[in-house]
Structure formats: structure tokens, C-alpha cells
Amino acid sequence: MKNRGWLFLVTVGLLGLYALALHRLTLYPPTWFDEGSHLHVPKALVRWGVYADYSSEGFRFSGPIFGVGPTVVLPIAGAFRVFGIDLWAARWVMVGYLLLSVSLFSAAARRWIPGGGAALAVLWFVFTRNLDTIAYGRQVLGEVPGMAFLALGLMGWARMAQGQKWGMLLTGLGFGLAMITKNQWGLFLIPGLIAMAILGKVFYRHPSWLGNGIAAGIALGLWGLWQGILWGALIPDPLRTMGELRQIAGGSVAAFPSPQMSATARSLLTVFDGALLPVALYVLGKALQRNPTGYRWGLIGMLAALNLGWLVVASNGWLRYAYPGLSLLSLGVGGMLEDLWKQVRIHALRWSIAGWLALLLLGSAVIVVGRVIRQGDGSAFEMARYLREQIPESARIETWEPEMMVLTDHRYHQPPQALLDAAARFIWLGGPPPSVFYRWDTAQPDYVLVGAFGRWVQLYREIEETCIRPVAAFGPYRLYALMECALFPSHERSIQP
């Protein structure tokens, strides 16, 4: 009867989440740079049969092909082939991943937390605004699909810890698919499993300690298989691509030691509306128990610590990079409530802490749902409609708004991928703007299309200051015709298109 009640609650919850996930699907969040870049790959695959990014000068084999893996690209390519190349088709695929992720996270939560604490963990995972699971799950990003596979791996790990040897296969499969989906997740998943193998042998003395190492080997093997296909069969010039990747990552995910270290650490203290520290201390306390319960929580604590540690020490501090670690700590919220309810005998204290967590969750949920209902922007579609109706497809358009390159089939030229390093250093590390290094005029465009991203990084500031009246304007998008602008770039730049 208890299992039936849980199944009923999960079913009702998923139906409600499904309705929330589909409401104004293409409008919120507004499509933007990362989503547009990721969509280039399935569009190129469907249109030209090439697994690549693209620009007016040809295909590019870096950047987006590593942003998300084939676990996201191939289902979207299938949707494009069936329904046509459009944003709504891609986001329907992502909604499917969102529902899968919540379902698998719910199943994993029940293996860590008995009772109602598991339900709180799932609600925290879905509705906490710092995680923004619903917003991430409604757009083409790798975080939510990656979390679905990570949750699958957690379910396998729990089975392995109970002595079921096939669980290590499921762990390796889930963790491997998570790494294929989000390459940088390997920075904490594999070290986390290796660390648990060592701690399982030395500290916890758990009989399944060796399974962690075997699962890590399986995950690495799966990831390596995809890398072999990608680098061996899909990338024509691996040395050039490797050089571009090293340069792109320098200002974002490989910025060791990060100059943002202290600022990032301070910002983490505000996560979960200030509840992150007590939750992390709870997980640490559970992990220090030398018993099967401590062993289970040791994995959660180790993975979260490695992910958040990398965020602080070796990245630009963008909180989105902490998504998997913070998602795992949602289990700590549920576990804390469950233990509080069972072990604290002072009713006033018990109800006070439970009420505090409930208020945090409710306030965050109101904000998240309000964003879905009220926020959003269709300016990209308005600009796309204008371009299709007024601008010939033969015209060359310079832009750093990759979402527009999916919505229409014009001859877009975008800056080189290497310029992302300069943009990241400008935004996060206080470096010079990318316009210092890039001469967009060498592409000889007929038009320049400036949107939220190009304006954020000030790439086309010169043309926006010179060309007072754009040809068309919708929301953040401005289209400029160069023949109407007296613009003569005057300074040398080093990164060529």
C-alpha cells in the first residue's frame, strides 16, 4: 500500500511537472547563445550529414560538438528530421529528459532516504531556484540529461553497495553516459569513484569497495569509446581542434588557480537561501559514520565536494557548473528532515527547522513557477520572421547570436570559437573586451545582427555606437545594414575569422 501511495504521488507530480514544463515552452527561457550553439550540431547533422558547428566559411569542429554529447544531439536530430528544424521540436526532446531526470532522481532518493524525506529531496531538486532545474530542463543544455544518467548511476551504486554485483555495471553505464553528455563531469565523477574505492577499503571497510574502481573503468571505457569515434572518425583535423579547445577552456573551466576563488566561495554560502552550509555539514556528518549508511552518504559528499571544489578552485565561478554537486546535496536536505523528524525530541525545534525548510522551498517554488508563467521573450522569432521576409538568404550576416543561425537559413558568419576565451575572461576575470582581438569587417558582411550575447560581451559596440538607426529591432536584437553606416575600424586585432 505504501508503494502504491508513493507511485500515485510520483505520477501526479510528473503530470503537474509535465504541464509546467510545456507552458510557453519556446518563450521561456528565451533562446540564447548556449542553446543556439548546441543546436548547430543536430542541424548540421540533418542538413548536411556532418557532426559539426558551422559558419558561412564552412564547418567548425570544436566548441558545440563538445558542449553536449550525442545523448542530446542525436535525439534532437531525430526530432528535426521528423518535425523539421525548429526550436519547439528540440525543446520537446528536452522536456522528455526533464521528466526522465526527475523520475530517476526520485528513484535514487528513495535508496538514500527512507520516508517523506525523499519527497522533499525531489521537490528541492525540482523547485530550488539556485538549481533552476525547470529552466535548464526546458532548453537545450546538458545539465538535466546529465543528471538523469547520474541518477541512474546512483541507483546502480546503491544496488552494488547492497552486494548485487550487476549494480557496478549500471553504475558504470550511468556515470559513463553522464560524462558523454557533459565532458567536464568526468573531472569529479571518476576521481569520486576512485576515492570511494580507497575509502571503502581503508575507512568504511565495505565489501563492495572494489566495485567503485570497476565502475570507474566501465564509465571511462564508455566515454573513451565515444571520444574514439569523435576524434577518429568525425573530426578531420584533431590537432587543430585540440589547440582550439585548450584556448576556449582557459577562461572558463580550466582557469587554475581561479582569480575568482574567494568570490565564488562566498557566493556558495548564499546558495539554497543560506541553507547550503548546514546541509553540507549534515552530509559530512553522515559520511563520517563508519557503517553502510556512512558509506552511501560518503559517495554523495565526495562527488559534491569534488564538483564544488573544482568550481571554486579552477573555474570562472559560474554557478551553473555546480549543478550536479548542488543537485546531489538536495538529497542532504531530505535526509536532514528525515533524521530531524525521527531523532529530535524537542517538538518546537523540530517544527521550527522543518518550517524553515518548507518556507525556503515554497518561496523558491513560487519564484520558479512565476518565471515560467510570466517571463519569456519571443523576440528571436520576430527577428527570424523579419529576416525570412525582408532579407535575401544570399546576404551575409555577421552575428554572435547562434540561435538565429538555427531559426533561419541565411549566410551567417560567426566569430571564431577561440574568441570565447577572450569573452569569458572579459566577463568573469576583468580582461579586455573580445572586440580588441577580432576584426569582424574582414568577413565582409552585408548586415550585422547584434543581440543579448554580442552586446553583453561588447563585441559590436563600435557599430552600435556608429549606426544610430538599425534596419530592424525586436527586443534585444538589432539588425544593421553596413551600407548605411560610416564605419571604419581603426585598430589592429589578432584573432581572425
CA distance to 140, 203, 414, 454, per residue, from 476 (Å): 21, 56, 18, 10
- Chain segment 418-463, per-residue pLDDT in tens: 898 889 889 887 889 999 999 988 888 999 999 999 999 999 998 9
pLDDT at 1: 43
Contact present, 311 and 320 (Cβ < 8 Å) = no
Lowest average pLDDT, out of 118-127, 151-160, 483-492, goes to: 483-492
Going from the C-alpha of 284 to that of each of 185, 196, 332, 454, the distances in angstroms are: 22, 14, 10, 43
pLDDT value at position 490? Answer: 40
Neighbour tally for 15: CB within 10 Å: 11
- Report pLDDT digits (tens) over 342-352: 877 777 778 88
* Nearest-10 crossing angle of helices 209-229, 186-202: 160
Asked if residue 433 lies in contact with residue 114, where contact means CB atoms within 8 angstroms, the answer is: no
- pTM score: 0.93
The confidence score (pLDDT) of residue 489 equals 47
- Closest by alpha carbon to 417, among 193, 205, 240, 187? 240
Q: Identify the band that residue 493 occupies on the pLDDT scale cut at 50, 70 and 90.
A: very low
pLDDT value of residue 497: 43
- Residue type for position 168: M
pLDDT at residue number 465: 87
CB 315, CB 213: distance < 8 Å: no
Question: What residue spans define the domains of the chain?
Answer: 2-374, 379-484
